[in-house]
Amino acid sequence: MSTSELLTVEPLDLQFPFELKKQISCSLYLTNKTDNNVAFKVKTTNPKKYCVRPNTGVVLPRSTCEVLVTMQAQKEAPSDMQCKDKFLLQGVIASPGVTAKEVTPEMFSKEAGHLVEETKLKVTYVAPPRPPSPVHEGSEEGSSPRASVSDNGHGSEFSFQRFSVDKGEPQENTSEARALITKLTEEKQSAMQLNNRLQRELDQLRRESKKSQSGGIPFMYVLLVGLIGLILGYIMKRT
By C-alpha distance, which of 84, 14, 79, 19 is closest to 52?
14
pLDDT in tens, 166-203: 444 455 567 777 888 888 888 788 778 877 777 787 77
Assign residue 81 a region (left: φ > 0; alpha: ψ between -120 and 50; beta: otherwise). Answer: left
| pLDDT for the residue 6 | 94
Whether the Cβ atoms of residue 134 and residue 119 lie closer than 8 Å to each other: no
| pLDDT for the residue 170 | 53
> How far is residue 239's CA from residue 37's CA, in Å, rounded to a whole number?
113
| pLDDT for the residue 26 | 94
User: If pLDDT is split at 50, 70 and 90, which confidence band does 160 have?
Assistant: very low
| pLDDT for the residue 85 | 95
Who contacts 77 (Cβ-Cβ below 8 Å, separation ≥6)?
Answer: 18, 20
| pLDDT for the residue 196 | 79
Asked whether residue 97 carries a pLDDT value surpassing 80, the answer given is yes
> How far is residue 196's CA from residue 117's CA, in Å, rounded to a whole number?
113
DSSP 2-22: ---SSEEEE-SEEEEE--BT-
Task: Round the average pLDDT of the chain to a whole number and report it.
Answer: 80
User: If pLDDT is split at 50, 70 and 90, which confidence band does 60 have?
Assistant: very high
Whether the Cβ atoms of residue 18 and residue 128 lie closer than 8 Å to each other: yes
Question: 170: helix, coil or strand?
Answer: helix
> How far is residue 12's CA from residue 4's CA, in Å, rounded to a whole number?
12
By C-alpha distance, which of 121, 160, 140 is closest to 10?
121
Phi, psi dihedral angles at 153 (to 5 degrees): 95, -5
| pLDDT for the residue 203 | 79
Radius of gyration of the chain, Cα coordinates, nearest whole angstrom: 48
